Structure 1
Amino acid sequence: MADNIEIIEYLKSKGFACQELDFKGIKAISVDVEIAEKLIELIHFPSSEIAGLPVFLLAKPSEIGHLAHVLNYQEYGHDFGSICVNDRDSVSVNFNMPLLAIEESLNRHIDILEKAITDPIWNRQELLREFKSCWLNVCDFDDRPVLLTNDNGAVEEIDVFRPVKGRKFGVRSYYLAQSKDTELAAAAKIYWQDNSDRSLAGKAVVLPLTEIEPAPLNKGQLENWYLDILSKQKPDILKKLNDNYGQWKTYKYWLFFNAQVPSGKVWFCLSFKSKKGKKHSLPLTERQLENWNVKAVPIRLFNKEAILPRGGANLDLAETKVALVGAGSVGSEIAHKLSAAGVQNLTIYDPDRYNIENLYRHVLPEEFLNYGKSGGLSFSLKRQFLWSKANSSLSKLLDLRNSKLLNTYDLIVIAIGSPTHERLFKEYLLEKDIRVPVINTWLEGFGVGGHAVLDIQERRGCLLCAYVCPDTLARGLGSNLNFIEPNQNVTINMSGCGEQFISYGAMCSAQTALIASDLAIKFLEGKIETSSKVSWKGCEQDAQKHGITLTNRYYQFTNSLKIQPLFHEDCDVCN
């Protein structure tokens, strides 16, 4: 890494005015830049290694004004502004040429400042767009965060409950503001709000803003900012606040604001705490505000629009109805991935119990041992994905041969690894002309691979296309997708017939679940409209070690994870 003198000399050769500074024994580099007739000083603290984009801090930012992409803070007894030029760790920096990296970074910092200083319209728009990050800069993080569940952001009064005593982690360690006007209320009350453990902390009001200003520059501006914002709201909202919520007196109040900014709807919060331990009403005037200490506090918003898209879920899948048959290692992973994708109406069928030998390749933790797999899984999904309406049943696949029931689903996913039952179920669908799409998925032992097929009845290609024998071209008993030759003993016997199992690990079940879930989600989103198949291919080493013979398809297969048409021209059903 270059030393200070070398950096200064290099920057001077590029036309920059710079010198060395001393901050309480720490050597830094000062760069003077003139922007719009203002002298700007940038400070660089050299490091021994360039592991990210070099940083230049703005000196005395408050003297320049409220600038977009600049966060103010104090260090070494001085005011600095941190300039956001990019996610520094995501930029690939040429650390072998440190002087070039420093010059490039300096130019980026200057470009941002020049834009913010010379273009006030752009600066204001950017301040509004990044409102949330600016607000967090004035937040007080001494208190626990407040978890707010609210869907529409309309004016509403809400009770705020204290964190559960002694809880340092999880939702019970937060203050809870549970909106009454939300479909989440019932689920949140079950999992988050235990009235025997939570006590009432105070009242909150949700306030949608018709006008919004950039966040205050520092904490000292909060009260004036608040009064200014109130003065710009519609008179009917202020009257409603005063008439309906301005009379209740308490020791603590929260105001949850929401407003539209260029980046979407933003939520933020002010906390009001009584100064003298007396109850007061919600402060709506400068005189009333004298009774309160005001703080900006962090909140965690929990609603569909805030949580689901951020996690990659699709809001359009909320009304989709899916049946999942099989809650084992593959099925449990599928249930989790479908729920995470936004599928809320999921019915899980499995008669088995969750046993201790299932622990190492199943998504459920040990707390669910001896539960029914389907029941434990549905409970776990509803706890993690609070909008999930997952329910469970002990019925087996062949118990579902009911036209009325099957026609209620948009998709059926079968993950039981039982080809005979799956073919019998397919025969029933054909016999009754039931046209619900079906995905069958299974994995093979010893890590050689796994498969999924999507059977859309109105399209060419069906499950039985995957059972056309490659040699006779007639329908066989084993899938032509398999990588292990049929009629081999693929189970491992540890201590008798009751302790036989197929050898595969959690990675294999997860990979198989991923290809099946991907197929399901793409179909539900309308991205796949034809009957399809997909396989993943693993290593043959363990199979060879156990004397397992693999198929020609295994050795010739080069389309791992690639979705392909399912149709087979010699299928007696499709033709």
Structure 2
Amino acid sequence: MRIPFKDLQSDIEEIEQNLLLSMRLLNDVNLDDYPFCDTVAEIEVLVCGEPAVFTIGFPTLFPHTLPLFFDKGNVFGTIPHKTSDGFLCYTRSDSVIIDSRYPGSLLLVCLKKVVQVIEAGLKKENTDEFSVEFEAYWKEKHNLAVFAYVDTTNTRARELDLWYKETQAKDPVVICAEKGDNVESAIQQLFHIDVKDAKKFRCIYLPLKERSFLSPPDPDNRWDFTVFKQNLVKNLTDTNRKAYTKLIQKPVADVKPGLEFVISGLPLENGNVALFGGTMSGNTIVTKALAQPKNQRIQVHPFVWKPKNSEFLRATIKRWHPNHLLNRTGGQMELTDKHILIAGVGSVGSEVATRLAKAGIGKLTLVDWDVMEVDNIHRHSLGADQVYTFNEKEGLLNKPKVWGLKEELNRKYPFTDIVMKGRSFLNILEEVDLMQHDIDLLIVAIGSPNTEMLINQTLHQLENPPPTLYTWVEPLGIGGHTLVTLNQDREGCYQCLFQPDDEGESIKNQSAFAEAGQEFAKSITGCGSVFTPYSFLDSERSAMLTVETAIKTLMGELSGNPILSWKGDDRLFKQGGFITRKRYSFSSKKLDETKYMYKDDRCPVCSEEGRDIHPNPEREGSL
């Protein structure tokens, strides 16, 4: 600890309190029993009105970190939030804000919290928290880890695939997954293991019924083979008990004998499911059949016939099912069955695709004809390793952007199905089923107004087109935009943005921050190196706006068809001598208030007049 123990005692003595009765430094103590601590003291505290003695450990950085408390003498017995080694968990990380100037006050604040935990446990006021913390208790002193791809929303007892990969290290790598989910490539990406090189063993998943209560393992309640089996079987529903009986008696094929794995799911009051399980020795018996020339070997589950001296080994379950991963990171599981098509995967579109895969979108179709260039790497989401591909027959080739992006996303987010189409979106418009039953959302990140106006017109002629977002960046960091169209209604579209300022003038993008008619393209070495100047920060900011809008659209949380904009710094823009439009002067509040005011009542595409020119079969015969 950073302060002398006597100074801490003196600090506490100056505080008026009646909780801590005494504190005595322990000199002859094994610090291995007190992880992360370099000083340990015995304290006498009032618990439920009576004096109780336990210990406090001070980490090296105290009072810049919180003290730790231990019931090494098992004074309080088995209570929630107390581990098998006596550690008392009294707070979540960062729930206590530390003021290191007052170490005595800090200790007393923490002591008050730990006493509240102890008293609630002794009074049995928080017994339900045994279930909430069940996984944490189960992980203590476990024998092995099982990486489990288990859909806990499926409450049916069933068999899982399980692969067992031996290593030169002490522990094997054990991976299980739902049958039929075709996760072999995901296993290769995530665990770097080819399942063809692993042994297969039988694994059964047994979800327990709602409101099951299990007392977790502790020194007074050791789970052996018999306790494990009894706790599972007695908490199955009638349907799952029948399924369990069939599963353990079912003949097995294509799996090794010797080991059997069982995983169970304990429903919690908060709607989550605690996973726990283990492995045990299996049986192989020899039978004699008159009709067979040789004796037959039959694998018998130990829940049917327990082998002599069979040992139950507790396994901690490490989840990797996307539902759990998204839930843990604040994601939305509703996105896992959504399909988004992204037209254009340049600097903005590639960032959009990456973030949508990270959000858990189930399927992405990437459309772009272009290839990566070295010039792209400081603005594109792909790096230098995705610029070229090489083979002896064709030599060095630039890699198509959709190809490189598919490789990158498959490597990082293996649960998202990536489909690539290395062609212009205009060329495949007639080939792709753009009706809502196939594609839930279309994102256009091409950055070409003329092309996007044609796409907009084509989509509005469809009977039931998907909601469509258009996204683009303005030059030199002054801003970017995302336009929502075909979201619940057809009024407001990409064409609406392009109107003349005065009669007879050429049309201009009314959402733009930059005044029309200015030339922003730059060239470093002539016409072959022309580009529009904006940084990766601008691409990422536009992508963030687009992804947030996409998710809100998919979840039905966005009304109508707004134009959404972000404003950047105009310093570089003004240094170049460029002029902004009046819209750039709008505050964020005004940009939000005017987000629906771009609509053109005379739009040739989405207005009533336009729909007469380009009839929509869905509206024929309606008022």
* 1:107-156 per-position Cα deviation (integer Å, ceiling 9, x unaligned): 1111111011112xx4431101211111122324xx5x322223336444
2-side partners of 1:308 and 1:196: how far apart? 25
2:496–2:598 Cα contact (<8 Å) kept:
yes
Query: How far did 1:306 drift?
Result: 1.9
Moved more, 187-196 or 521-530: 187-196
SS class of match (2:94): helix
Unaligned runs of 5+ in 1: 74-80
Measure, in 2, the Cα distance between the counterparts of 1:186 and 1:490.
49
Matches of 1:240 and 1:227, distance apart in 2 = 16
Alpha-carbon separation, structure 1, partners of 2:592 and 2:70: 49
Residue type of the alignment partner of 1:31 = I
Distance of 1:246 and 1:233 partners within structure 2: 25
| 1:164–1:197 contact (8 Å) kept in structure 2 | no
In 2, the alpha carbon distance for the partners of 1:436 and 1:317 equals 16
How high is the TM-score relative to the length of structure 1? 0.84
Whole-angstrom CA distance in 1 between matches of 2:256 and 2:470: 61
**Aligned: 1:178 with 2:186:** no
Question: Any conservation in 2 of the 1:312–1:341 contact (CA below 8 Å)?
Answer: no
C-alpha distance in 1 between matches for 2:215 and 2:587? 58
| 1:256 and 2:263 correspond | yes
* Aligned residue number for residue 93 of structure 1: 98
The one-letter amino acid of 1:104's match is V
Match of 2:583 in 1: 553
Deviation at 1:345, TM superposition (A): 3.3
Return closer, same or farther for 1:430/1:89 CA change in 2, 3 Å cut-off: closer
Instruction: Find the partner of 1:139 among 139, 142, 166.
Output: 142
Q: How does the TM-score come out when normalised to structure 2?
A: 0.78
1:69 equivalent among 74, 77, 81: 81
Alignment RMSD: 3.7
Deviations 1:9-35 (A, max 9, x none): 246853531121314376533322354
Greater CA deviation, 326-335 or 479-488? 479-488
Report the counterpart of residue 284 of structure 1 in structure 2.
Answer: 303
- Contact 1:35 1:117 survives alignment (8 Å): no
Matched ranges for 1:481-496 at <5 A: 481-496=511-526
Residue aligning to 1:84:
89
Q: Which amino acid aligns with 1:407?
A: M
Q: Quick one: which amino acid aligns to residue 368 of structure 1?
A: Q
Instruction: Give the partner amino acid of 2:277.
Output: C
Q: Label 1:360 to 1:162 Cα distance change in 2 as closer, same or farther (>3 A).
A: farther
Unaligned runs of 5+ in 2: 30-37, 284-296, 388-397, 609-623
Q: 1:531 aligns with which of 554, 558, 561?
A: 561
Look up the equivalent residue of 2:223 and give its one-letter code. L
> Alpha-carbon deviations, 1:340-371, whole Å to 9, x = none?
33432332211011233222232334443333
Q: Retained in 1: the 8 A contact 2:20–2:46? A: no
Once residues 466 and 377 of structure 2 are traced to their aligned partners in structure 1, the CA distance between those partners, rounded to angstroms, is: 33
Secondary structure of the corresponding residue to residue 298 of structure 1: strand
Alignment of 1:319-334 (within 5 A): 319-334=337-352
Q: Is 426-435 or 519-528 further displaced after alignment?
A: 426-435
Q: Which amino acid aligns with 1:499?
A: S
Residues 267 and 10 of structure 1, relative CA distance in 2, 3 Å threshold: same
Q: 1:123 to 1:4 in 2, by over 3 A?
A: same
Q: Which residue of 1 aligns with 2:619?
A: none
Aligned-residue sequence identity (percent) comes to 22
Cα 1:402–1:246 change in 2 (3 A) is: closer
Q: Distance in 2 between matches of 1:460 and 1:296?
A: 61
Tell me how far 1:404 sits from its aligned partner: 7.6
Report whether the alignment pairs 1:118 with 2:123. yes
Change (3 A) 1:258 1:396: same
- SS state at 2:274 partner: strand
User: In structure 2, what is the Cα distance between the partners aligned to 1:561 and 1:218?
Assistant: 63
Secondary structure at the aligned position of 1:406 is classed as coil
Q: Is the 8 A contact 1:352 1:373 kept in 2?
A: yes
**Contact persistence 1:162–1:198 (CA under 8 A):** no
Task: Identify the residue that residue 222 of structure 2 maps to in structure 1.
Answer: 221
- Write the distance in 1 (CA, Å) between the matches of 2:169 and 2:519: 52
Q: Is the 8 A contact 2:337 2:361 kept in 1?
A: yes
Deviation of 1:246 after TM superposition, in Å, equals 9.8
What residue is the counterpart of 2:55 in the other structure? Answer: 43
Q: Distance in 2 between matches of 1:356 and 1:163?
A: 40
> How do residues 129-528 of structure 1 correspond to structure 2 at under 5 angstroms?
129-140=132-143, 143=144, 145-151=145-151, 152=154, 154-163=156-165, 174-180=173-179, 182-185=180-183, 187-188=185-186, 191=189, 195=194, 198-200=197-199, 202-210=201-209, 211-218=212-219, 221-223=222-224, 225-230=227-232, 232-233=234-235, 236=242, 239-240=245-246, 242-244=248-250, 250-263=257-270, 264-272=272-280, 282-284=301-303, 288=307, 290-292=309-311, 294-369=312-387, 370-402=398-430, 405-408=433-436, 409-430=439-460, 435-456=465-486, 458-469=489-500, 471-472=501-502, 476-528=506-558
The AA in structure 2 aligned to 1:310 is R
- CA distance, structure 1, for counterparts of residue 306 and residue 353 of structure 2: 56
Letter in 1 for 2:138: W
What does the per-residue CA deviation read over 1:414-447, in whole Å, with 9 as the maximum and x for residues that have no partner?
1011011112222334456765432111002222
Once the two structures are TM-superposed, the CA of residue 511 in structure 1 deviates from its matched residue by 0.6
Q: In the aligned structure 1, how far is the partner of 2:492 from the partner of 2:136?
A: 52
* Aligned residue number for residue 127 of structure 1: 130
The counterpart of 1:106, out of the listed 97, 102, 111, is 111
CA, structure 1 residues 84+187, in 2 after alignment: closer, same or farther (shift >3 Å)?
same
- Cα gap change, 1:561 to 1:22, in 2 (>3 Å): farther
1:528 to partner: Cα distance: 0.9
Aligned residues: 552
Quick one: structure 1 residues 315 and 242, their matched pair in 2 at CA, closer, same or farther if it must change by over 3 Å?
closer
Residues 432, 220 of structure 1: alpha-carbon distance in 2 compared, 3 angstrom cutoff: closer
